[in-house]
Amino acid sequence: MKRIFINETIKHIDEKVRICGWVDSRRDHGKIIFIDLRDKTGLAQIVFADDLDKEMSKLSETLRAEWVIEVIGTVKQRPETMKNEKIETGGIEIKAEKLIIYNKAETLPFPIGNDGYEIDEEKRLKYRYLDLRRKRLQRNLRMRQEVIYFMRTKLKEKGFIEVETPMLTKSTPEGARDFLVPARLQPGKFYALPQSPQQYKQLLMVAGLERYFQIARCLRDEDPRSDRQAEHTQLDIEMSFIETEDILNLIETLYIDICKTIFPQKRIKKIPFPRMTYKEAMEKYHNDKPDLRINKKDNHELAFCFVTDFPMFEWHEGDKKWGAMHHPFTMPQSKSIEEIKKHPEKILAYQYDLALNGYEIAGGSIRSTNLEVLTAVFEVLGHSSKETKDQFKNYFEAFKYGVPPHGGIASGLDRFLSILLDEPNIREVIAFPKTGDNRGLMMDVPSSVSEKQLKELHIKIINDASQK
């Protein structure tokens, strides 16, 4: 007999069905045992009555929470007074005729029948496979899928092509630290995991694709932060022959459609989204990602706003040097090489961010296609002309063959989803998140590796005290 999901049982009144799942709860009423069986679609009440054969009756008495079982039985309507209107299957129950126990379960380290916010987070992350049985987290993952599917569908309709870019790439001075991967077949050399698909997506514009997107995995070896992840997911977009207005209109329309279609209970404060320059935002709100909600405690209100015209550079007092406010490939609003080098503090960029309820959820820019300007930007950041040409020789080679004007934007999906789902942090919308200091407690990573592996990679650990 083919297995069906629990939510389908309501279509099979007075029919025999086969369902599988986890024992959610057990109630013993003497000669009758009630089991709530749970699968990914919901709960069903199973009745083990006293007219069962002795072997099955004895087996049903052993059932405990979270045991994995299969039940074959007949679907019956419950009496009107016994119906549970709170669940989809509350009007039926299944009279068990056959029981199979696939696996028993020990007592869980924490309850999963509630939201789980009160449980120590490190414990939840250690047993994440159990934490994910929680209804709230399964809802979050399904809503995440809905949003990503919606994005893919809408962008395909608008002529975008989804392209997967490499995960093993080149280490370049772009901003955050790279995660490095030793190349076994080329001793002494390393790949880097991508901080973003920045170079690849620009080269796709050189390739003539014109409209690219990707649900991209991005990895950055950042210092510990409570609400950041070493690896995160972003909607990555790049377009040719466009201006800032084209990208802002695209992302505004996409986000409005997502909210109205998937989260109709939410209310967007203002359409079109308000726009302000970086200077205006800092002067009025002292923040480049202002929260424009009237009532900051109203989770149903979504206050989007665009912030534009960021400074090209920002001064890093600790390092006593200039850094890129966005990234070095952003086009400065000055084409004067001399001005860029002599007065970096005055240079604005064709950079734009999208803020939501006080959080930055997307950022992008029009890109530099003038290699002299790009070289000047890297000089301000402390890199010589030779170093820039060596590190980014792909640009200097590719741009010789005809590069269109282009720009793009990257939207952080984890942050966006956590706001829409009223979650306190991004870890609640990621299946297997890490701690704020980049530890994966469930898999115990990072971890040591064998001397044999290190030898194959031509690596020697000279001081592993920090790992103890």
The domain defined by 132-178+190-435 folds into: BirA Bifunctional Protein; domain 2 (3.30.930)
The Cβ of residue 273 has, within 10 Å, a number of other Cβ atoms equal to 21
The domain defined by 6-103 folds into: OB fold (Dihydrolipoamide Acetyltransferase, E2P) (2.40.50)
How far CA 4 is from CA of 20, 73, 378, in Å, comes to: 8, 12, 60
Give dist(CA 394, CA 392) in Å, integer.
5
pLDDT tens digits for range 390-427: 888 888 899 999 999 999 999 999 999 999 999 999 99
| DSSP of 394-448 | HHHHHGGG----EEEEEEEHHHHHHHHTT-SSGGGGSSS---TTS-BTTTTBS--
Picking from 218-227, 230-239, 312-321, 452-461, which range would have the lowest pLDDT averaged per residue?
218-227
pLDDT score for 465: 54
pLDDT score for 468: 47
pLDDT tens digits for range 217-276: 999 998 877 778 999 999 999 999 999 999 999 999 999 999 999 999 999 999 999 999
pLDDT score for 175: 63
Picking from 19-28, 90-99, 381-390, which range would have the lowest pLDDT averaged per residue?
381-390
Pairing of strands 42-48, 32-39: antiparallel
How is the chain split into domains, by residue range? 6-103, 132-178+190-435
Q: What is the mean pLDDT of residues 72-85?
A: 92
pLDDT score for 464: 57
Q: List, in sequence order, the alpha helices (H) in 12-67.
A: 54-61
Mark 440-452 as b/e (b = at least 16 C-beta within 10 Å): bbbeeeeeeeeee
pTM above the 0.85 mark?
yes
Picking from 381, 264, 399, the residue whose alpha carbon sits closest to that of residue 328 is: 381
- Report which DSSP code applies to 168: S
Fold agreement (6-103, 132-178+190-435): no
Asked if the model's pLDDT at residue 466 lies above 80, the reply is no
Give dist(CA 360, CA 215) in Å, integer.
18
Is residue 61 helix, strand or coil?
Answer: helix
Identify whether the C-beta of residue 421 lies closer than 8 Å to the C-beta of residue 262. no
Q: What does the block give as tokens for 110?
A: 């924490």
Give 444's pLDDT tier (boundaries 50, 70, 90): very high
Q: What is the mean pLDDT of residues 52-60?
A: 84
Give dist(CA 361, CA 303) in Å, integer.
12
pLDDT score for 30: 79
Give 37's pLDDT tier (boundaries 50, 70, 90): very high
Average pLDDT, the chain: 94
How far CA 52 is from CA of 44, 47, 68, 380, in Å, comes to: 19, 10, 20, 82
pLDDT score for 56: 85
| DSSP of 279-337 | HHHHHHHSSSS----SSTT-TTEE-EEEEE--BSEEEETTTTEEEESS-TTBPBS---H
